[in-house]
């Protein structure tokens, strides 16, 4: 599905849908030469993607987006200066929203998820610790710090009104290992997912003892720009296992659930065959590699995949090549399931 209007180099990092007629995607554009770029946001109206004007904002990147209806969508991103932004969609455009700690030099907001009850959960950091910010658009409060030193949180996932999951990485020796944790009024941190510089980009809990996690293992050594290895992990309530994802060089970036809320699709990147996008589809207890459609992009790269509520269909988003340099542009695909 064409996503026109981005200024190369551009990419969409996250995508969220409220239904067949409404979706949002965010990322960055204008990454040319030494430029830090600027924030990019697009909206789907049921027929086409259009670029949203962000000229009134001064942000260099939007890292996540989540929405439930026409006037309830949220985004977080990277500041041009020191202030990490929290943005709200009002039905027409994005506006900044105040929150406790806004403007503090050590406050960062990384990922966001909006619930059907109107509450918004944000993962970030404040006071030197990873933690969650919870609010409803009016009142906000920071929750207890994650009890893990040197942790980075990349994704937050809502399982129920009072239960969220986060994923990222944590310091481990001279590198880092995969991190998954649950908040349900207090923190439960699962054992680290062992790997050679492993970061977990997304997590999906089918249950507290049935959790899927995906990411990239950077490995050790190799030339600059060396691609990593896709990482797929499963928690059974006792230990992590590492099923083989079906290809060995590349990345896994996002997990999308089906209408029953169970993990169904994973977005990825197969370095050894970049002619089309790569997904993993859940078939019973196993995952099967599925290729995306042939299109105008010669080597598309996916950063995320998400379900379309009220349907059995899915959106994915990324960029037209794996290198964020001109002429790379924003890219989306849609899987239509009758």
Question: Mean pLDDT of successive 10-residue segments in the chain (338 residues)?
Answer: 94 97 96 83 97 86 94 86 84 93 89 96 94 93 96 95 96 91 98 94 96 92 79 98 96 96 97 95 94 90 97 97 93 92
Spatial contact of 81 and 128, defined as CB atoms under 8 Å apart: no
Spatial contact of 322 and 298, defined as CB atoms under 8 Å apart: no
Q: What is the CA radius of gyration of the chain?
A: 18
Chain segment 301-321, per-residue pLDDT in tens = 999 999 999 999 999 999 999
Pick the closest to residue 87 from 139, 26, 174, 28 (CA basis).
26
CATH code, 11-335: 2.120.10.70
Spatial contact of 82 and 107, defined as CB atoms under 8 Å apart: no
User: Would you tell me how many other CB atoms lie within 10 Å of the CB of residue 239?
Assistant: 9
User: Would you tell me how many other CB atoms lie within 10 Å of the CB of residue 293?
Assistant: 12
Q: Where are the domains of the chain?
A: 11-335
Confirm whether pTM is higher than 0.75: yes
Pick the closest to residue 94 from 82, 107, 112 (CA basis).
112
- Calpha distance 210→187 (Å, rounded): 18
């Amino acid at each position: 599905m064409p996503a026109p209007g981005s200024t190369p180099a551009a990419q969409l990092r996250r995508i969220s849908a409220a239904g067949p007629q409404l979706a949002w995607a965010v990322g960055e554009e204008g990454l040319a030469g030494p430029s830090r770029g600027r924030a990019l946001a697009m909206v789907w109206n049921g027929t086409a993607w259009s670029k949203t004007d962000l000229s009134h904002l001064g942000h260099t990147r939007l890292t996540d987006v989540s929405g439930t209806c026409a006037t309830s969508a949220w985004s977080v991103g990277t500041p041009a200066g020191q202030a990490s932004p929290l943005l709200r969609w009002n039905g027409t455009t994005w506006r900044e929203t105040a929150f406790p700690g806004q403007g503090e030099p050590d406050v960062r907001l990384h990922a966001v998820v909006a619930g059907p009850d109107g509450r918004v959960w944000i993962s970030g950091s404040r006071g030197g610790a990873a933690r969650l910010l919870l609010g409803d658009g009016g009142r906000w409060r920071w929750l207890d710090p994650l009890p893990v030193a040197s942790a980075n949180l990349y994704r937050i996932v809502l399982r129920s009104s009072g239960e969220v999951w986060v994923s990222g990485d944590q310091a481990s020796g001279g590198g880092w290992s995969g991190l998954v944790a649950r908040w349900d009024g207090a923190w439960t941190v699962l054992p680290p997912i062992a790997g050679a510089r492993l970061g977990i980009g997304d997590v999906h809990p089918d249950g507290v003892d049935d959790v899927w996690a995906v990411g990239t293992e950077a490995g050790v050594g190799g030339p600059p720009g060396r691609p990593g290895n896709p990482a797929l992990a499963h928690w059974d309530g006792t230990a992590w296992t590492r099923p083989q994802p079906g290809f060995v060089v590349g990345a896994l970036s996002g997990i999308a659930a089906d209408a029953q809320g169970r993990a169904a699709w994973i977005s990825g990147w197969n370095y050894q065959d970049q002619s089309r996008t790569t997904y993993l589809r859940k078939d019973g207890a196993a995952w099967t590699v599925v290729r995306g459609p042939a299109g105008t992009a010669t080597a598309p790269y996916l950063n995320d995949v998400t379900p379309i509520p009220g349907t059995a269909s899915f959106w994915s988003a990324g960029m037209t090549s794996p290198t964020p340099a001109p002429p790379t542009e924003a890219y989306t695909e849609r899987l239509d399931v009758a």
